[in-house]
Structure 1
Amino acid sequence: MTTAATTEVMTQEQAAWFAETFNRIVGNVAHAVLGKENVVRLVVTTLLSGGHLLLEDYPGTGKTQLARALGQTLQATSSRIQFTPDLLPSDVTGVSIFDPKAQTFEFHEGPIFANVVLADEINRASPKTQSALLEVMEEGRVTVDGAPHGVGKPFIVLATQNPIEQAGTYRLPEAQLDRFLMKTSIGYPDQAATVQILHGSAQRDRAGALEPVITGQAVSDMVTLADSVHVDPAVLEYVSTIVGETRRAPGVLVGVSVRGALGLIRAAKTWAAAHGRNYVVPDDIKGLAEPVLAHRFVLEAEAEFEGASAADALASVLSDVAPPTMRSGGR
């Protein structure tokens, strides 16, 4: 089937192809990250929505395997950057080195020049280095000595944070958190998945054994195709109302930005197509609200002290805002 870019609304045939391909990507990655299909679906949704993902999780939960498995599945390049306090911006983006023979500066690419980048423990690097990474995430290119260098497509950053070791870390400012389309965690596998992992202990690198199921160009086509999913004006009003209510919710100092609302719509389009639909329904919005919106909240200090959480505040907003009643076909 042809997946060329289109400005028209996605057809049902295209939606069926999208869903089938989406499930093949998820299924392949899930061979390396056992028992975490829902997390994998969120990662693939982030990729096909043109966004980036923040994973806040404990050590040893499979974050590196997830990033490498995604790279293998996409027939794409992947890299891992271990963030440390002494990491410099040029260690991420690259540097220009003078060539005495040619009498010119030659740019040497940093590890950010990969399709799938694992930024491990991003909060251990200095704010300056964090900003260098986040700038590339936003712009899709590196500018060194006035010359732009595109990082290519597809491009996704999976950044991680360790929630239990805060000594010597630099908390990501709210404005930088807002640049991640989603935030989630992998978590420990359940009993059945743990037994399966232990049973296959001789296979040390599950991700390396995966075969690619899609090309980078096909991924770019899927990103374009997801943009053509129909969103009813009533759903847009629903998202706008939710975002507005987050700014007025009790105990919330700063609610969701317009960037967050746009991110939710983009993710909902991809999520709808992944379920074989060429239109968004309110349940798509509700299902993605927490991973897309919760990390963008800033709670009042008193509310945090009393044990309030962004997830609770968002859940309260969602329960108070009535979803629209969709007509047949989502339109």
Structure 2
Amino acid sequence: MSSENILKEAFTQLCRELEQQIIGQRVLVQRLLLTLLCDGHLLLEGAPGLAKTRAIKSLARGLEADFHRIQFTPDLLPADLTGSDVYHPETGSFSFNEGPLFHNVILADEINRAPAKVQSALLEAMEERQVTVGATSYPLPPLFLVMATQNPIEQEGTYPLPEAQLDRFLLHVRVDYPDRHASRKILQVVRHEALCALEHKVPLELRKVTQKQVFTARREIMQLHLAEAVEEYIVEIIETTRNPGQYGQELSSWIRWGASPRGAIAIERAARSMAWLAERDFVTPEDVQNVAPDALRHRILLNYEAEADGITAQQCIDQILASVPAP
């Protein structure tokens, strides 16, 4: 088997194992892998108990990487994330004590419950891949992925994420309830895990995807063929969010602010990763249409009238994709 086939088989196995752990959430599993392959960060929104935490923990177990969960609360301080300088009185010197951000895979649980200073500390880590304490900046690990969660309910006492921070997330995925069949399968899986724990059975250790394999896959993805027509299609979708009037007055009356250049970058990289996971060496318009809603959902701002009428960003994106002709 060639090295290329070995690499794709490793990710295929990882996907298979994740789908066995996170029942009925195939889109979530796929978006997790896309985020990993794109070297991005993921924002998940969904009601409690929909396997958001389980998903990122399962991904970390399938990688040669360490994991840390941070529960965001209103009393959290930036130093609780970044770490701090510790004074040693016996020597009269300081040393830096690393915080939880110095792990490979981070779960920022209920990120919108933390105040602005904490969110800005996470923002620097996500964008600059470093943290600054005092006058010194410390680089984060080369493999660094943040998955943040927020609940659509219990919004009292929360701090909505500013648009600048939302833009740093590659994808914004909404997680819905599993169907009836998946719910039954979840009961069976949880029951089996409980029995294994009671009998002190150690789960089978699987071969993990190494960090070197992740970096190699990212390099291959950036070398996939992207036709000029597909590239122009991505640009036209982004331009339509900024100048929606060219495809109808209705869109123009909904959108107050369009997607930034990061939106185009997110669509292109995610579409490339979709093609790579499908074992194709080229990107199709269907790949773009598949990832565009999650790449744009948090980058389109609606005006007051649209929000008052119950219009959602998803409806705007659906209309844009229906209006812009695909190559």
TM-score relative to the length of structure 1:
0.89
Q: Deviations over 1:232-268 (max 9, x none)?
A: 1111111111101111222100011111101111111
Q: Deviations over 1:21-54 (max 9, x none)?
A: 3321211122221121221011111111010000
Q: Deviations over 1:43-98 (max 9, x none)?
A: 11111101000001111111111111011000211110000001011101111111
The equivalent position to 2:127 in structure 1, one of 120, 138, 144, is 138
CA contact (8 A) 1:242 1:321 kept: yes
Residue number in structure 2 paired with 1:53: 42
Residue number in structure 1 paired with 2:146: 157
Residue number in structure 2 paired with 1:234: 229
Residue number in structure 2 paired with 1:259: 262
CA contact (8 A) 2:289 2:321 kept: yes
Q: Cα RMSD (Å) of the superposition?
A: 1.9
Q: Quick check: 156-165 or 242-251, which moved more?
A: 242-251
* 1:157-306 to 2 correspondences below 5 Å: 157-202=146-191, 203-204=193-194, 209=203, 211-249=206-244, 250=252, 251-306=254-309
Shift of residue 17, structure 1, vs aligned partner: 5.1
CA contact (8 A) 1:62 1:186 kept: no
Q: Quick check: 128-137 or 214-223, which moved more?
A: 214-223
Q: Deviations over 1:270-328 (max 9, x none)?
A: 1111111111111110111001112111000111100111111111111111111xxxx
Distance of aligned partners of 1:136 and 1:35 in 2 relative to their CA distance in 1, 3 Å threshold? same
Q: Higher RCO, 1 or 2 (CA under 8 Å, sep at least 6)?
A: 1
Letter in structure 2 aligned against 1:46: T
Stretches of structure 1 that go unaligned for 5 or more consecutive residues are 4-13, 325-331
- Measured in 2, the distance between the counterparts of 1:2 and 1:21 equals 12
- Measured in 2, the distance between the counterparts of 1:150 and 1:221 equals 21
Aligned residue pairs total 312
The equivalent position to 1:127 in structure 2, one of 82, 107, 116, is 116
- Measured in 2, the distance between the counterparts of 1:127 and 1:272 equals 37
Stretches of structure 2 that go unaligned for 5 or more consecutive residues are 245-251
Q: Secondary structure at the match of 2:101?
A: coil
CA contact (8 A) 2:7 2:213 kept: no
The equivalent position to 2:53 in structure 1, one of 44, 64, 87, is 64
Residue number in structure 2 paired with 1:322: 325
- Measured in 2, the distance between the counterparts of 1:219 and 1:2 equals 17
- Measured in 2, the distance between the counterparts of 1:76 and 1:321 equals 41
CA contact (8 A) 1:26 1:37 kept: no
Letter in structure 1 aligned against 2:280: R
Shift of residue 200, structure 1, vs aligned partner: 3.2
Letter in structure 1 aligned against 2:316: A
Flag the structure with higher helix content: 2
The equivalent position to 2:66 in structure 1, one of 77, 99, 116, is 77
Letter in structure 1 aligned against 2:213: A
CA contact (8 A) 2:11 2:209 kept: no
- Measured in 2, the distance between the counterparts of 1:138 and 1:263 equals 14
Q: Secondary structure at the match of 2:86?
A: strand
